[in-house]
Structure 1
Amino acid sequence: MSTEVKVPVLGESITEATVGEWLKQPGEAVAADEPICSLETDKVAIDVNAPAAGVMGEHLVQPGDNVEVGALIATIEEGSGGAAKPAPKADAAPSPAPAPAAKEEASAEGGSDAVVLSPAVRRAVLEHGIDPASIKGTGKDGRLTKEDVLAAAKAKKDAPAASTSAPAPAGAAPAAGGRNIERVKMTRLRQTIAKRLKSAQDTAALLTTFNDVDMTAVMETRAKYKDLFAKKHDVRLGFMGFFTKAACLALKDVPSVNAQMEGDEILYHDYVDVSVAVSAPNGLVVPVLRDADKKSFAQIEKDIADFGSRAKDGSLTMEDMKGGTFTISNGGVFGSLMSTPIINPPQSAVLGLHRIEERPVAINGKVEIRPMMYIALSYDHRIIDGREAVTALKIIKEAIEDPARLLIDL
């Protein structure tokens, strides 16, 4: 008797997903609730767990296939099973060397324990031609992360050239002179990001206003209290806590920046749910810091650190992404000096942070070297006037330059 494996409910308004990777192969033993397949949705990657213990049966869909909620994707048969995969067909010609796709399923010890790869890791393995069995994983339960593969690729590149070249990645088209082109299908997440950003440009009347911030006071405050803060709250005191608090102050004073359009109506929120842009292996994701205006510095920093950690290991959920009334995106961590961020629909504004750079500025008639940061506020001009946008950004600037304002609500 077999048990059907179906696509689970994926979240509100999400009806379809893309098969990312099979974590269990036909013939392998499966425990109840053990992850057997990963699915990529518009927002996050989700594991499909086994509904019963037994032996992995037939895969009815393949990686890259689109599947709807409730669709039958595999079966689990009765029995104890093993780790070996079905033998190749008799008429299949033996391969002189394992292909990259086969390599990623090879045993890390040369035995029967398969290397389980997430979709992001799989793509990185294929892209760089790395044997996953040769890499020690630093992720949960020793699993490989994308960073592990990139580090191995860098080490391989820095090492002296081998006498024989590595096999070309799957999808690479050889060309004269060793010039290659690799064709890789966009992930569902990347497709959704592209559609949403283009939709924002096509629909909203986007405009960006800029200002610069003297980071001296915040940097001095952070340097003075970071050790005590870390000791008491067990989390690092960063800059995001200050900017989140400053943004909440501005949004309370200028409600339209925290509002959204719905048809011919404007929805004003009496709460602030901040979407925090976080880099994940499959692209940029924006988990939501709910009720940010009511949270302490410590809780904000803890939540943001947790988002970053879970984005890296792929454990963010649909609920983490839902909602959001305003977005903060910190391109400064990647070295950006200035940018014009695009709003995250249906939100109406996004704050862009950039790198801190020492620059000469005029202070009381004298030129001084100060740590300065450009900040940008992109907004939907349909519901936010220029005066309101400029005022909101000015409030953020003043709160960062004089952090006492955050304590006395100025």
Structure 2
Amino acid sequence: MTATPKISPARAEAFLADFTTLGTFGATGRGGVDRQAGSDADIAQRRWFAGLLEQHGLRVEYDRIGNQFGLLELVPGAPYVFVGSHLDSQPTAGKFDGAYGVLAAAHAAFELAERWGSGSASEDEKPRYNIVVVNWFNEEGSRFVPSMMGSSVFTGVLGLDEALATTDPWGISVGDVLGKAGFLGGGDGPTPVSCAEIHIEQGRILENAGNTIGLVTATWAASKYVVTVEGAQAHSGATVMEDRQDALYGAALLVVFARQLADRFPGVLHTAIGKLDVYPNSPVVVASQVTLLLDLRCSDEGVLAEANRYLEEQFAAIEQTAGVRVSRRLSHEWGINPYQPAGVDLARSVVGELGYSNQEIFTVAGHDSVNMKEKVPTVMLFVPSVEGISHNEAEDTKDDDLVAGLDMLTGVVARLAHGALVD
């Protein structure tokens, strides 16, 4: 293989134009998007994306959980290099999260198909493996819980039947949504040989350092809880204060403590309460039950263990203070989880040839590549997020960084298609 070339100005222009079009699906009034999985906006963008892939000669298929695949068959019978991310979004979110990685994957495939199909490629430049552009279903997990659903089913982390039976707050199931839209395939999808994903950082480490490309080496450790606070329903006005068993008061104490817990370990521990369901949620009733999702993420496994111990103590204290019962279920837990060092080395080689400033970086957020790396060698890349804003309509990444990331992803996928990380 020759040294990694940059994409052409025409490719960059086409990519940015398509990205502008993609941002019109589910567009909000403040520059963001609302494209929760299986929504009308999500269905519309999937159909548009299928047309874009087919226009460039890729064959579009779906697996049994609705993952969308654009297959570029270069070597009949060979397995596939997976490249992509997700098109679904959080409610009133930014237009870059996930969508950038899917469209960059598509244009990387388009670029490589042109290079290898031009007739000018030498024998040693021809690929050994096929390429598949993937749009994973329901990565965000906002409408249907859990997140990273499509890649979890694909990699065997989550059962297909369980995923299809999952319902949204209105009782509509994943299977109903995908079946009605025509996105339920009959198979398990292509066979992977390796994987690459590019994503906006969703933080401000790259921007602060003035670097263009992040070479992701590992994920932060995490503990995720479903916490239920149970009290007693009562009249919000007439019930004597000392008689109240206010579940929302108990939940509020936990919300405040979660932030105080992060403040004990600045820069190392991140905490959040992502969702609260309050019952009966009536204006004149003291809440009898609150269910909430508590998320702890940490760059140090020892600190995470200490934070969990503090949580245990606080649960007992909240029960005593608020007169409630607190139960919790650990829904997800993982330690510091590295990507394959050989993949980081491959990315470092490519970025060196392209000449972009770069650094190694952890990912705090979860991504579909976290599932894929447990199955095949995987490369994860970041581009900067302006001011670190994400899951917000103001989310932004500069055009030059978007194009640099496309350059980088194209070079990585080319090497993966030639068998890097396999031999």
Instruction: Say whether the fold is shared (TM-score over 0.5).
Output: no
Structure ID, larger Rg? 1
TM-score category, normalised to shorter length: under 0.3
More helix by share: 2
TM-score by length of 2: 0.24
TM-score by length of 1: 0.25
